[in-house]
Structure 1
Amino acid sequence: MLSVLFLCTANAARSQLAEAIVNQRYAKHFIAYSAGTHPKGIDPRTLTLLTQQGLSGKALSSKTIQQLENQLQRQKGQPVLFNFIITLCDSAKQECALLPNDAAILHWNLPDPAAENGDALFEQVFVELELRLAEFVRFNHNPAAALQIAPIDVFKQFSDNTRLQILMLIEDEQRLSVNQLCVALEESQPKVSRHLALLRDCKLLSTTRKGQQVFYHLNPLLPKWVAQTLSTTRVANPSYINQPITRIRELANPNLTTPFVNQD
């Protein structure tokens, strides 16, 4: 079970909402806590909104970081270590640096709904927290299940045009051979093989053999953030590999060489 601490100034709204969302929607993987650098008590609108969203606020309380740590130390009989600390305002961001912890730290600077009249900002912040927490859980709920690849190693591969094209082509086509890639990129076999070897060494690609043919495909154990980065890059740059894709199609079917004609 991974632990996450949400921090904001007053521990009145943002951090309380985040704690409730995680503990009641993602309890399979996480246990969440919240605290404030200068707690002021829970805003009644926080509890009202949670009820409207089908969540309970009964277990929530407003407290300082020290009060939370003392409480958890009494319960567990040992110093408290959090896997993640997520600060929800700039003030808490500055003060969390003082915590004696090796936690992974994220900063989401959300507006304080308790500082304004009405419920509109509460609802807006709740929706924002839902979106951010869903993404956070997706990428962090089971870190041991995926390969551990350093971001610098991934972006080194992305920074080379040939290797990026290879990755995008394989992301599109699922699996490709050295011969197909040579035709697509109009590069020599030694050069393509050298790039493929680098991609295998950093575990971005794996291979499957079919008869005498070796096919390259994305490593099925890729961390989700790596797979999404590649997918997003492909979708956001749809024409980047147009010509290599066309060459692969022509290799598979030489008759597909006539360009489309506008019939309008």
Structure 2
Amino acid sequence: MFSILFLCTANAARSQLAEALVNQCYGQHFTAYSAGTQAKAIDPRTLQTLSKQGLSCQGLYSKSIQQLEQTLQQTEANKVSFDFVITLCDSAKQECASLPTGAAILHWNLADPAAQPGMDLFTKTFADLKQRLAEFVKYNRPSGSALNIAPIDVFKQFSDNTRLQILLLIEDEQRLSVNQLSHALAESQPKISRHLALLRECQLLSTTRQAQQVFYHLNPELPDWVAQTLSTTRLANPGYINQPLARIRQQVASKSISH
């Protein structure tokens, strides 16, 4: 279970909406809190927006960071800390120096709906938060199976043309052997094997054996962000592996004819 602190200036609208959204939609993975750098009363339109969206307003109240920490310290023996701190306005962003250490900090600069009349900006802010939080949860929810791979290790592999082509070919074809990759990329088998060893070492690839042949495939425990990066790269660059794919198709066709 991860904890998130949503921080804005008044803790009257944006951070309250975010707290309610997380606790009621993603409560199995996260516990959300909200606070303000200059806390004021909750805007009644915040409660109207939540009610309209079918979410409860129970337990919501406006508070400063200091008040929140004092409340939490009553139930926690150690110093209060959060796994994530998400600031929702530029003013709150400036307070990052005083935030709990060790937290991963994100900044989403959203217009203050309380500063404008009517409900339109509240509705827009809620929709924006809902979309951002769905994406955030997708990549940051606790997982007992996904690997913890450092971004630098992933992008080191992506920076080499041969290894990137190998990854995209396997992403496209599901599984390939050294022989198939060597033929597709017009490279020697020892060279392809060295690249595959590096990709296995950083856990991007796994292997399965069929009879005497070893096939390489994407590690089924890849974090979502890595798999999504590969998929997006493939979709956004459809011609990048055209030639290697054509060679694989030719190889498969010639084997079918010979049999």
TM-score (norm 1): 0.94
Secondary structure in 2 aligned to 1:133? helix
Cα distance in 2 for partners of 1:13, 1:193 equals: 56
Alignment pair present for 1:62 and 2:65: no
1:78 deviates by: 3.5
Alignment of 1:174-193 (within 5 A): 174-193=174-193
Q: What is the identity, as a one-letter code, of the residue corresponding to 1:119?
A: M
Residue 162 of structure 1: CA displacement?
0.7
Q: Distance in 1 between matches of 2:161 and 2:49?
A: 49
Task: Indicate yes or no: 2:9 matched with 1:19.
Answer: no
CA contact (8 A) 2:23 2:31 kept: yes
Counterpart amino acid of 2:136? F
Determine whether 1:89 maps to 2:89.
yes
Instruction: Spell out structure 1 runs of 4+ moving beyond 4 A.
Output: none
Q: Does the CA-based 8 Å contact 2:82-2:100 persist in structure 1?
A: no
Counterpart mapping for 1:137-216 below 5 A: 137-216=137-216
- What is the Cα deviation at residue 76 of structure 1? 2.9
- Superposition RMSD in Å: 1.4
**1:241 matched residue in structure 2:** 241
1:8 counterpart = 2:11: no
In the alignment, which residue of structure 2 is the partner of 1:262? none
Partners in 1 of 2:90 and 2:184 — Cα distance?
49
Q: Does structure 1 conserve the Cα–Cα contact (< 8 Å) formed by 2:7 and 2:85?
A: yes
Cα pair 2:7 2:87 within 8 Å, conserved: yes
Compute the displacement of 1:86 (Å).
0.7
Cα distance in 1, alignment partners of residues 85 and 144 from structure 2: 19
The corresponding residue for 1:98 is 98
Once residues 145 and 208 of structure 1 are traced to their aligned partners in structure 2, the CA distance between those partners, rounded to angstroms, is 19
Amino acid at match of 2:37: T
For 2:43, the aligned partner's letter is: D
Question: What CA deviation, in whole Å up to 9, does each residue of 1:29-72 have, x standing for no partner?
Answer: 11100000011111111100100000011211111000000001
Unpaired runs of 5+ residues, structure 1, are 257-264
**Would the alpha carbon gap of residues 191 and 255 (structure 1) be closer, same or farther in structure 2, given more than 3 Å must change?**
closer
Q: Evaluate the alpha carbon distance shift between residue 144 and residue 96 of structure 1 in structure 2; reply closer, same or farther with a 3 A threshold.
A: farther
Structure 1 window deviating more from structure 2 (72-81 vs 88-97): it is 72-81
Deviation at 1:96, TM superposition (A): 2.2
Question: Residue 254 of structure 2: SS of its match in structure 1?
Answer: coil
Secondary structure in 2 matching 1:243? helix
Uncovered stretches (5+) of structure 2, i.e. residues with no partner: none
Residue identity in the other structure for 1:254: S
Task: Name the CA distance, whole Å, in 2 between partners of 1:14 and 1:237.
Answer: 38
Q: Which residue of 1 aligns with 2:33?
A: 33
How far the C-alpha of 1:145 sits from its partner, in A, is 2.9
Whether 1:80 and 2:80 are equivalent positions in the alignment is yes
| Alpha-carbon distance in structure 1 between the residues aligned to 2:245 and 2:160 | 18
Pairwise CA distance, 1:144? 4.5
Question: C-alpha separation between the residues in 1 aligned to 2:214 and 2:61?
Answer: 59
Corresponding pairs, count: 256
Identity among equivalent pairs (%): 71
